[in-house]
Structures are given as C-alpha cells and as structure tokens.
C-alpha cells in the first residue's frame, strides 16, 4: 500500500498583511515557493475543506512535552464529543525544524475552527482545501492563501 504524505509548501512572501503572516512566521513555516493546486487533484479527503488544529504551545507559552500532550488529548476528546471526523497529524515546518501533534478536522467552518483554535490559545489555524493551504488568523485579520502539493511515497 502506498502512503500519502502532505508536503506543505508555505511560501511567505514579502508584503503579506495581517496577523496571519506573523503567526505563520512565528510557527516556523517557510518555503521557497508555492504550488497552488487549483484543480484539487490529489486532495486526500472526501470533503472540500478541512482544518488543521493543535493545542500545543499556546501563544508565546512553551509548555513541556507532558503538558502539550495533555492539552492535545483534551482537544481530541472535545472533537470526539462533538462527533467530528478527525485524523491525527503532525504539522510542522517544511524543513523539519519544528513540528507539533495536530489534528485534521472535517466539518468545521472557518469561524468555528478559529473559535476552537482561540480556545486553545492559538493565534491561527490552517485551512486546507482543494485549491489552497491557508493560514487563518483567530482574530479579524485576513487569511493568507498559499499552495500545497502531495508527495506519494512508494
């Protein structure tokens, strides 16, 4: 069986406005280019949009591994109570310098995903659709749409 690994190329270019760009930079996301998928080819979900959420490292805080794991477990329990479909994930910088346990969640709109993110102290959440990978600020700042690609490992 072949596994699908998402390589998220998040090219933060000069001139991005709003709180979402600093949040993305603070999270360590960067890349040299973006590859928009306007066709959505290879999008691995049966819905049009999913959100990537984490409870790790709220705001400027950096709790230790045990506290981050406990926070993530509580987030997952909340999603389960809500009856949402979710998949465990690890989200991180394209160069591997930073990664956090996360969940990919189906069934949330941007406002609800941001409310969940804000409840866990996050500055932003990620929205992944057939056409874009987006940094969505948990305040009223504008979203930043970026590209994505799928790499299939043999």
Which distant-in-sequence residues (6+ apart) come within 8 Å of 138 by Cβ? 114, 115, 117, 118, 122, 123, 124, 125
Say which DSSP state 30 is in. -
Supply the pLDDT for residue 143.
83
Q: Which residue has the higher pLDDT, 144 or 116?
A: 116
Evaluate if residue 46 carries a pLDDT over 90: no
Lookup: tokens for 70: 């406990």
Edge-first strand order for the sheet with 133-137 is 85-92, 99-106, 49-53, 124-129, 133-137, 144-146
Residue of 5, 6, 7, 12 whose CA lies nearest to 33: 12
List, for residues 6-32, the tens digit of each pLDDT value: 333 222 222 222 333 444 444 443 332
pLDDT band at 5 (very low <50, low <70, confident <90, very high): very low
| pTM, full prediction | 0.73
DSSP for 90-152, written as a single string: EEE-TTSS-EEEEEEEES--HHHHHHHHHHTT-SEEEEEESS-EEEEESSSSPPEEE--EEEE
Q: How far is CA 29 from CA 3, 8, 95, 114, 140, in A?
A: 23, 9, 9, 19, 21
The number of domains in the chain is: 1
- Which structural domain range is residue 55 located in? 3-153
Q: Rounded distance, CA 34 to CA 46, Å? A: 24
Evaluate if residue 113 carries a pLDDT over 50: yes
Q: What is the mean pLDDT of residues 87-109?
A: 84
């Amino acid at each position: 069986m072949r596994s699908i690994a998402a390589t998220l190329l998040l090219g933060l270019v000069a001139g991005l406005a709003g709180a979402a760009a600093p949040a993305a930079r603070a999270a360590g996301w960067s890349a040299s280019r973006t590859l928009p998928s306007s066709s959505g080819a290879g999008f691995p979900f049966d819905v049009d949009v999913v959100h990537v959420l984490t409870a790790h490292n709220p705001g400027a805080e950096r709790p230790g591994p045990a506290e981050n794991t406990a926070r993530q477990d509580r987030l997952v329990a909340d999603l389960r109570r809500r009856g949402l479909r979710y998949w465990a994930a690890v989200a991180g910088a394209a160069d591997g310098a930073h990664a956090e346990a996360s969940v990919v969640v189906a069934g949330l709109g941007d406002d609800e995903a941001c409310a969940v993110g804000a409840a866990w102290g996050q500055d932003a959440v990620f929205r992944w659709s057939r056409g874009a990978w987006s940094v969505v600020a948990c305040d009223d700042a504008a979203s930043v749409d970026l590209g994505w690609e799928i790499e299939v490992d043999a």
